[in-house]
Amino acid sequence: MQPHSPDTVQYALETTRVLYEPDRRIDTFTSTRFEFQFLSEPMDQVGQVRIREGEVEASQPQIIRPEGFEEISAEGFGDHAKKLFDWMEKEGQLPQFLQYGFQFKRSGVTEDLIHEPIDVVRGRLVDQAKAEGRPMQAVIEGVDDAWEICLLRFAMEMISKSKRINLFDFKRKGLL
């Protein structure tokens, strides 16, 4: 797979939408596994929606020294993930808590192609997620050919939303 152009990365980051957010956040002292359903419209197939399902795992936060920042890993995402982290660091877009180190894994992804309008599929997936009430479930919409970038955007949002809780937990345990 070829790395995405900066314009493709920017477009994917700007257009990613979390339609249904997990109730839980990244756990401070254990790894956290989020289930996702990712929907997108294939560029070359009108009236169809691709649904990818899988999991994203965030390792438990580790307090590391700033010189250890290069150890961030994005296992399973390919070379473009490291370039995304580098770009986000350069642009000042990395959430502060990432400086403590996270490792992301993407695994068990399945794909289905549905022959329905995206509005119908979007509504059904969100309604289904609400009805099931799984606390680690996310429904995400984004760009088909850069879907992994969109998934990383979701992961970064979860870091931002978990940061205050994680810092509180570290301080409460006397680790910070």
Q: Beta strands 17-20 and 73-75: pairing type?
A: unpaired
* 14-32 pLDDT per residue, tens: 999 999 999 999 898 888 8
Identity of the amino acid at 68:
G
Residue-level pLDDT at 70: 52
Using pLDDT thresholds of 50, 70 and 90, give the confidence band for residue 125.
Answer: very high
CA separation for the pair 92, 161 (Å, rounded): 17
CA distance readout (Å), 140 to 11, 35, 149: 15, 11, 12
CA separation for the pair 68, 89 (Å, rounded): 14
Q: Helix count (H) and strand count (E) of the chain?
A: 4, 6
CA separation for the pair 100, 63 (Å, rounded): 4
The position carrying tokens 């050919």 is 145
When mean pLDDT is compared over 29-33, 73-77, 171-175, the highest value belongs to 29-33
How much is the pTM? 0.76
The region of weakest confidence among 65-69, 84-88, 111-115 is: 65-69
Domain spans, the chain: 6-172
